[in-house]
Amino acid sequence: DSLKVQLEERGCTERASLPFHRQLLDGRLKQTLGGGIGQSRLCMYFLRKCHIGEIQVSTWPDEMLKTCAENNVPIL
């Protein structure tokens, strides 16, 4: 169990009794909760982009597309 190993390595085994940690350790929560490591945000940073739509395809409100176009921000 990765959480147990991490808590032991950091010397924080007492955290295993916290509600969130307990649910993970008991298998009541998936370890993949959340959005991962934020790959799109990392790409934005390294590529120096100001809007996530420059590196990730999605649907955007018309007003957002208009604002981006007015500011020369190309949206995928």
Whether residue 11 lies inside any domain: the answer is yes
Kindly give the confidence (pLDDT) of every residue in the chain, 76 residues in length, as a single tens digit, with 9 standing for 90 and above: 789 999 999 999 999 999 999 999 999 988 775 666 788 889 999 999 999 999 999 999 999 999 999 999 999 9
Measuring CA to CA, which residue among 12, 66, 10 is closest to residue 21? 12
pLDDT digits (tens, 9 = 90+) for 13-23: 999 999 999 99
* pLDDT for the residue numbered 6: 93
Contact present, 55 and 40 (Cβ < 8 Å): yes
- What's the structural domain count of the chain? 2
CA atoms lying within 13 Å on the CB side of residue 75: 17
This prediction has a pTM of 0.50
Question: 63: domain range?
Answer: 39-70
Whether residue 63 lies inside any domain: the answer is yes
Whether residue 75 lies inside any domain: the answer is no
* pLDDT for the residue numbered 38: 83
Whether residue 58 lies inside any domain: the answer is yes
